Chain A
Amino acid sequence: MALELVTGNHAAGYALSVAGEANRSARGAACGIYPITPQTEIVEYVAKFPFTKGRVVPVESEHSAMGVSIGASLAGARAFTASSSNGLAYMTENIMVAGFYRLPIVMVAVNRTLGPPWNIWADQGDTLMLRDFPWIQFYCEDNQDVLDTTLLAFRLAEDHRILLPALVAMDAFIISHTQMETQCPEQEQVDRFLPLLDLPHRMRQEHPTTMGGLVWPLEGMSQRLEIHEAMARVPEVYEECREAFRGEFERDVGGMIETFGTDDADLVVITSGTIASTARDVVRRRRQRGERIGYIKIRLYRPFPEAAIVEHCRTATKLAVLDRNYAAGQGGIFWQDIRAAFQGRRDDLLIQDYLTGLCGGDVTPVMIDAVIDDLGGRREAGSPMWMGIDAAVEAT
């Protein structure tokens, strides 16, 4: 294990590559790749990796990048790719297909604002538009998180109780292009951590089947139910993978959510991605001043860790949800999931949405202080607050 100073993209490219290489004594690794700012360095890393048994296909579009990875996965190889923003939008049809074919493809996505207008900075709207597909989704906070979660994602996705693709997201530039000290495991460790891929439904000449033909409503609905049941098994299998990860790499990849100060909190700040680092610092500082404030970072977003979040908000009366994303005509997307989680359980809870850092804006400690102050003074929830435009001015 080497401690290296690398960017988030480098960490992701490294994790995808060593995971692919770890399948060399089975059916190998193959994938389609296509560049888009700010994830390009990931696919460049993969393209130059000297796979023992692998092929990286530089294709003509994101749609085909996922198409090649689907074909490779159907043939039993370990498959992966990376994309971002409008590239994910263009890839969407095949992203959906990878899920419905139950292919354990791992994709690293760098969260970048969807356009137009043209904007390359961080916003989670791109991966969250994929939230209703059969994909596991993780949101990472730093470079180590990206590397570790990507490795773990393969083991989780390929587990026969799961067999779902997994997406590992990181904020554009704040992670993708920022160097941090990152523990990069040796190939032998990854070989030990990742079992060889054995896809039970891979295409076989000796057992011809037709995949994706016509089904009747009952079979179609049964397939959805099977996906739902596999999603429901994710928390249990995740914890097993986390334990195996700890055993091999001697560090904790983290839970589905990360919490701080929630044991006695009146007010809990809930967020994800890089905003979590700032929020944790603000909460820690205010707790030192005696304020009963807690913090929750959502790492696993799909399946949504509803039970864990509800459990950690048991003492709270107010929740601030910080969303670096926006669903038109509705508000923050995490906010909607949080409200749904508490509906009928804690109808007394005041859940307020704060749109922070949309389209790549900085989310500063001052802004998070303003959020906490605003929520502290509220008697009822309102429509989402557009922090950094008018809300911050009013709140401070």
Chain B
Amino acid sequence: MSAGTEREPMPGRVEEGLSIPCSEDCLLRPGNTNCGGCGMSVGLTMLGRVLAESGDTCSLVIPACCGIVTAGGFPTTSYGVPVVASTFAAAPAFASGMASVRDLNGESGQVICWAGDGGTYDIGIATLSAAAERNENIIYICYDNEIYGNTGGQRSSATPPGARTSTTPSGKREGKKDIMSIMAAHRIPYVATLSIGHPEDYARKIRTALSLEGMRFLLLHSPCPTGWKSEPAESLLLVRLAVASGLFPLYEVWDGRTYRISVEPDWTDPAEYFSRQNRFSDHLIDLDATRRACREDFERLRILAEQFPHVD
């Protein structure tokens, strides 16, 4: 029994509750048609609450992904903020134009790209990289559900090894792209990972992003019960297990140079994370190698955080 399972993280029993009430003008309104247990929905709601609490506003640029389906059918919309559907690969380009005109006119309000892992890791990476290199004054949030969810579950370069998708029916053999390192390597002001299972940490990082200028990149681990073949009620448990086991470290990077680890894993066995999702084929997951990789990757991060600590 690992320390993590003794702690028994249970859905709905999140230790640190997000203490910001939902305002009337929600970013994501009630009554949308998103799946139960959708991490993206929770992420949007939390984003809206932190913006409202901060007295900030935003416009969303959403490429092809579940995020734009969320809006629902014309003339109604589930969004309480201005939204534009961008082309799949071009969200950061649309946002660059919008933010330029906002800044030319001395206006406030964030321009936020809200994109899935397909639009971020794959088809949109050139546009994203270019916007980061130009240090555009935008926030980019990738909700990473590790799959092309909107098209029914095909592999992306964010899909972890061993995960079955409709285009990797016997399990993906390749690794997951390390988008955090790629974005940090652009030396943009702020890069951080988010988990809906750690809402206060999530809120703090959004606040940090709001306080900075220039390109800010946030990676949200976003459970997708449909694609992960998991229980909707276990979504929060799953993302907490991912953090606890070291599979999805929560950390921040400033200017690509200074690091801080936000949540220390308790080294829960990742086997529990895998076993609760039917997308993983047991025979394709080398648990010993995965445990080793989690430790090694985290050690690398720890060295960076110790050698190059961020000082507020």
Residues on A close to B: CB < 8 A? 27-28, 30-32, 53-55, 57, 59-61, 63-77, 79, 93-94, 97, 203-205, 207-216, 219
Contact = CB atoms under 8 A, between A and B. Distances in A.
Interface stretch (B4-12, B81-89, B114-122, B289-297): B81-89
Contacts of A32: 93, 96-97
A70 B94 contact: yes
A28 B99 CA distance: 13
B73 A67 contact: no
Given A55-B100, A68-B100, 11 more contacts: A55-B101, A59-B134, A61-B126, A67-B127, A68-B97, A74-B97, A77-B100, A97-B87, A205-B81, A211-B84, A214-B69
B311 to A, nearest CB: 33
Interface size class of B (residues with CB under 8 A): 35 or more
Interface string B74-113: 1101011111111101101111111111111100010000
A250 B140 CA distance: 50
A30 B87 contact: no
B162 to A, nearest CB: 34
A216 B74 contact: yes
Classify the interface of chain A: helix, strand, loop or mixed: mixed
15 contacts: A27-B101, A28-B101, A60-B129, A65-B93, A70-B86, A70-B97, A71-B95, A71-B96, A72-B101, A75-B97, A93-B89, A205-B59, A205-B81, A208-B81, A210-B85
Contacts of A211: 83-85
Contacts of B161: none
B134 A71 contact: no
B20 interface: no
Contacts of A216: 73-74
What are the 7 closest A-B residue pairs judged by CB atoms, nearest first?
A71-B97, A67-B93, A212-B85, A75-B101, A60-B130, A72-B97, A67-B90
B130 to A, nearest CB: 4
Most buried by B among A75, A79, A97: A75
Given A61-B126, A77-B104, A208 B98 contact: no
B59 A210 contact: no
Given A60-B130, A214-B73, A205 B57 contact: yes
A211 B80 CA distance: 12
A213 B97 contact: no
B183 interface: no
A75 B84 CA distance: 11
Contact of B97 (A30, A60, A63, A97): A30
A60 B104 contact: no
Contacts of B80: 208
Nearest to B61: A71
Nearest to A55: B100
B90 A213 contact: no
Nearest to A214: B73
A59 B96 CA distance: 10
Given A67-B93, A94-B90, A30 B101 contact: yes
B72 interface: yes
Contacts of A203: 59, 82, 84, 98
